Amino acid sequence: MQVLPIIMAGGNGSRLWPLSRVQYPKQFLPLAPGGQTMLQATVQRLAGLGAAAPVLICNEEHRFLAAEQLRAMGHDDCKILLEPAGRNTAPAIALAALQATRGAAAGQDAVLLVLAADHLIEDVPAFHRCVQAALPLAQAGKLVACGVVPQYAETGYGYIEQGEPCGGGYVVSRFVEKPDAATAQTYLASGRHLWNSGMFVFKASRYLQELEKFAPDMLRACRAAMDAATEDLTFVRVNKAAFEACPADSIDYAVMEKTADAVVVPLDAGWSDVGSWSALWDVSTKDTAGNVLHGDVMAQDSTGLYVNASNRLVATVGVQDLVVVETKDAVLVAHKSRVQDVKKVVDQLKAQGRTEHHNHREVYRPWGVYDSIDNGKRYQVKRITVKPGAKLSVQMHHHRAEHWIVVSGTAQITNGDKTYLLSENQSTYIPVGQIHALENPGKIPLELIEVQSGSYLGEDDIVRFEDRYGRVNEAAKEAT
C-alpha cells in the first residue's frame, strides 16, 4: 500500500501580516521550531511513515519558493502541481488524486494523506499513530478526517461530531460550522466533538468516485485541466483555462459532509493551524516574563509579548499582552486579544491600492533576491544578490535604463552584442531598449546595486527572450 502525502501550500495567511504576504505567505516563513519554514516542518514530520515523496500543490507565483525549500531538504524530485487560480481545497485535492492515478499499475491505488503546509504539530509520534489508525479505514474505502482533540472552547474552528465507533475511529455524525462561545463550551464538555483540522486520509479513487457523485462539474473541469497539463522540470502546470472554469468549494462542503463513508480519527498531538499572532505566541517557547522575542529586542518591565524584529532594534517599556512585528517596510502593534482584526488592515491596504500586503521590500526569485532600497518619480534603486551559477533572463525594457555597480563577486554581463566580466567596484550602463542579461559565473554570491531611471519603472516593463526558469512565455509581472 503506497501512502502518497499531498501537501496543500496555497493561501496567503493574511492574519500574520506583515510577515506573511501574498508573494511570501506564512507556509514559506521560518515560524516552526528549529528555524524551519512551516512547509519544511510539514515535510520533515513525514519521516518514519514510509510514505512516498510528497506531491505539493501551490500557486504558480510561489513555485520557485516551494522548489527551493524542498531542494534545501534534499527533495529535488517532488512533483509540484501549480494552480493557475485559487479554487479552494476540493479541486486542489482532485488535481492531486488525478495526478496519483496517472500511470498507476493495475490494482494499485495510492492512499492520499492530505496535509496543510501551514500547520504545526508538537508530538510527531502521536501524529504518526493517527495516520496509522486511519490507513486501514482508508483501505476499506472510508474517507477519513483527522479530528483534533480540543483543549479549550475554540470559536475559530469547525467541529466534527463523533458517532458510533468504526475500527480505529468513529463514524462522522455531522460536521459543525464555527460555533459561538456558549456552543463551543458545550462541545468541549460533551467529549464527542473534535476540531476539524483539514487533514484527510483516503484512496485517490474513492475521493474521485465521491466527487463524481456529488460535484461532477468540478471533477470534469479538473480532468480537463490535468489532461491538458504540461510538465516543466518538477512542475506540473495545470491548464489555466480549464481550471478557471472549475467551481470553487472546500472538500468539507463538496464531499465530506455528503458522503456516507466519512470517518474521523482523533488526533491529540499539540496541533495548531497558527492562524494568528496570538496562536503563534501560544505554541512558542516563552521567557520567564511570558515573552516570545525574536531578533534584536529589549523588553523592559514587559510581559506576555510576542515581538518579532526583522531588521532593527525594537524596545518595549511597561507594556503587556502586545504583538509587535517589525519588517523593512511596515510595523504592526496590536493587542493579543485583537489580532484577528489584522486582516482588516490588509483589506484596507488593498482598498487603498497599496502594495505592503502583496510583497515585501525584499523579493525572492529563482536566481536570488532583490531589495528595493529607494525609489522616486523617475528612479528606483535595488540591491540585487545573484546565487552562484544563476542567471537572470535575457531581456529588454521599453521605458527604463539601468546602471549596475558590482559590490562583491563577479558579474558576467550581456549588453547588446557584447559580453564581458565585471568585478568589485566596476560598473556598466544598459540603455533603454538594449537586450541584456546578468549572470554569476563565480562560486560566491554576486551582489550589485542597480539604479533604474526612466519614464516608467513598473515591473511589467520586461520583454524576455530567453530564461532558464521557463518564464519566457509568462506575463511579464516578475522583476528582472
Taking the alpha carbons at both ends of the chain, their separation in whole angstroms is 46
Tell me which H or E stretch contains 358. Answer: none
Grid cell 542597480 — which residue? 450
pLDDT value of residue 35: 85
235-237/230-232 β-pairing: antiparallel
Architecture of domain 362-466: Sandwich (2.60)
**Spatial distance between the Cα atoms of 22 and 11, rounded to a whole number of angstroms:** 8
pTM of the full structure: 0.89
Cβ(325)–Cβ(316) under 8 Å?
A: no
3-state secondary structure of 260: coil
Domain ranges (residues) in the chain: 3-272, 290-346, 362-466
One fold for 3-272 and 362-466: no
pLDDT value of residue 1: 66
411-415/418-422 β-pairing: antiparallel
pLDDT value of residue 45: 96
Instruction: Name, in order, each residue with C-beta under 8 angstroms of 419's C-beta and a sequence gap of 6 or more.
Output: 412, 413
Per-residue pLDDT of the chain (480 residues; tens, 9 = 90+): 689 999 999 888 899 999 999 999 999 999 988 889 999 999 999 999 999 999 999 998 899 899 999 999 999 889 999 999 999 999 999 999 999 998 654 456 899 999 999 999 999 999 999 999 999 999 999 999 999 999 999 988 999 999 999 999 999 999 999 999 999 999 999 999 999 999 999 999 999 999 999 999 999 999 999 999 999 878 999 999 999 999 999 999 999 999 999 999 999 999 999 999 999 999 999 999 999 999 999 999 999 999 999 999 999 999 999 999 999 999 999 999 999 999 999 999 999 999 999 999 998 888 999 999 999 999 999 999 999 999 999 999 999 999 999 999 999 999 999 999 999 999 999 999 999 999 999 999 999 999 999 999 988 899 999 998 877 755 444 445
pLDDT value of residue 112: 97
Class of CATH domain 3-272: alpha beta
Residue 216's identity, in one-letter code, is: P
Tell me which H or E stretch contains 335. Answer: strand 331-335
Using alpha carbons, list the distances in angstroms from residue 292 to 110, 197, 289, 315.
42, 25, 9, 13
